[in-house]
Amino acid sequence: MVELGLNRAEPATLVVDLNCAFASIEQQHDPSLRGRPLAIAAYATDAATIVSSSREARDLGIKTGMRVFEAKALYPRLVIREPNPPRYREVSDKLIEILQRHTPDVLRMSIDEASLNLAGTPDLTRLGPEGVGWAIKRAVRAEVGEWVTCSIGIDATARHLARAGIRTPLDFLYATPQRLRLAGMRREVAEHWLKRLRGYEVGSFESARRKSYSHSHVMARATSVQADLEELLMRLSEMVGRRLRAAGRRGSVVTVSVVYRPRAGHFSHQAKQPQPISTGEEIYRAALELLAAREPNREIGTLGVGLSGLSDAAEDQMDLFAEPRAPRGDRLEKAMDTIRDRFGEDAVQRGRLLGRAPVVRDRIAFGNTGHPEE
């Protein structure tokens, strides 16, 4: 073992993943769903994509990523529910609270997955990694519910590694960075794994910050009507701005992406702004200019808005020649955010959106925590 340069210290990092998260949370909430094949779909339509399926549904071959009509072909009596993001965030927050009882060094990786670093904690000495794992499982069962379970360990990567002929731990240990790249790993990821395989944790839990914020919406009916697209663009811009402000950040690069329907095709345009921005109005104005590059006669099925080139709002350097930001405008945005936090996204709207039905629903994307601060 010494010749391989292995770290012989006791493992200190755990990965916790809620099983069948959205579906099991719904089964915990509604006892009538327990024991039944259940799928959580983005929308209550046959063409919608399934984002979570219960254990019972998975046993029937119904998996995440399937269309509802495909799943119903396997089991016509499948129960379909739309997502309830606030309910899932509540459970996610409870999970983080449970993990933080064992260490302050917790990384929320997604809405249903988190890592915790036990290095230097009393529980690592007192319980050991396995003991902490069992304590977490007991707490989830007692405080979230018996129908919501979690797996604790290291995520499987066997299928990716098999592409490079890596099928055993020793194959993985002796693999070169070039070989790991055949498994789809970037050079820096491959180098990090070679260190991890020898027991050294690389990367900081605190350094995992978002590089961009974005929202997109798949429309039930494609459209080329400018007014409808502008309405959707404004709502998406408001949502991006709201998440930025909650995280105390601004961005300087606005991106608009479009997917046409029914024929395949898309475009994505971006533009750097003179100074960092964070309000929905600022994002919307920049995005509207980018949207003008679309093919006007083609119907759009998906529209997205994003902001990158991020910086902390408190660290922004003022441009000597730029117009100063209006404190009154910032206070207004914060007041609107506070109202929406308490009463919902549609409690306060821009004047042009009043009286119109909301077209963007609260969603949680894969790999996203679903929290504004993320």
Instruction: Please report the domains of the chain, with CATH numbers, ordered by start residue.
Output: 10-154 (3.40.1170.60), 156-204 (no CATH), 212-353 (3.30.1490.100)
* Assigned token pair, 135: 């304590």
> Closest Cα partner for 154 from 112, 120, 115, 97?
115
Q: How confident is the model at residue 91 (pLDDT cuts 50, 70, 90)?
A: very high
38 within 8 A of 23, measured Cβ to Cβ: yes
- 38-52, 195-209, 272-286, range with greatest mean pLDDT: 272-286
> What is the pTM for the complete model shown?
0.56
Mean pLDDT on 246-251: 87
Span 216-244, pLDDT tens digits? 887 778 899 999 899 999 989 988 988 88
Pairing relationship of beta strands 113-117 and 106-110 according to DSSP bridges: antiparallel
Contacts of 24 (CB under 8 A, 6+ apart): 18, 54, 55, 147, 148, 149
Is pLDDT above 60 for 324? no
Is pLDDT above 80 for 187? no
Identify the pLDDT of residue 1: 42
Mean pLDDT on 268-289: 92
- pLDDT > 90 in the chain, percent: 37
> Closest Cα partner for 65 from 96, 29, 41?
41
Is pLDDT above 90 for 154? no
Identify the pLDDT of residue 102: 93
Q: How confident is the model at residue 359 (pLDDT cuts 50, 70, 90)?
A: low
Mean pLDDT on 124-137: 91
Buried/exposed code over 347-363 (b: 16+ C-beta within 10 A; e: otherwise) = ebbeeebeeeeeebeeb
Cα separation, 41 vs 84, whole angstroms: 11
- 55-59, 141-145, 356-360: range with lowest mean pLDDT: 356-360
Is pLDDT above 70 for 316? no
The CA-atom distances, in angstroms, between 194 and each of 5, 174, 183, 201, 324 are: 11, 9, 13, 10, 49
* Assigned token pair, 172: 């993985």
Is pLDDT above 50 for 133? yes
Q: How confident is the model at residue 352 (pLDDT cuts 50, 70, 90)?
A: low
Cα separation, 202 vs 83, whole angstroms: 35
Q: How confident is the model at residue 267 (pLDDT cuts 50, 70, 90)?
A: confident
- 129-133, 175-179, 249-253: range with lowest mean pLDDT: 175-179
- Tell the burial category of 269 from Cβ atoms under 10 Å away from its Cβ (0-12, 13-18, 19+): middle
Single-letter residue type at 149: T
Identify the pLDDT of residue 315: 57
Half-sphere exposure of 20 (CA within 13 A, CB side): 23
Is pLDDT above 60 for 365? no
Mean pLDDT on 168-178: 84
Is pLDDT above 60 for 318? no
Q: How confident is the model at residue 2 (pLDDT cuts 50, 70, 90)?
A: very low
Identify the pLDDT of residue 206: 41
Average pLDDT taken over every residue of the chain:
82
Is pLDDT above 50 for 340? yes
Is pLDDT above 70 for 349? no
Half-sphere exposure of 117 (CA within 13 A, CB side): 14
* Assigned token pair, 120: 């230097």
The CA-atom distances, in angstroms, between 223 and each of 49, 288, 362 are: 21, 16, 21
H or E element: which one contains 28?
A: helix 21-29
Q: What is the DSSP letter of 104?
A: S
Cα separation, 121 vs 293, whole angstroms: 55
292-306-334 Cα angle (round to 5): 110
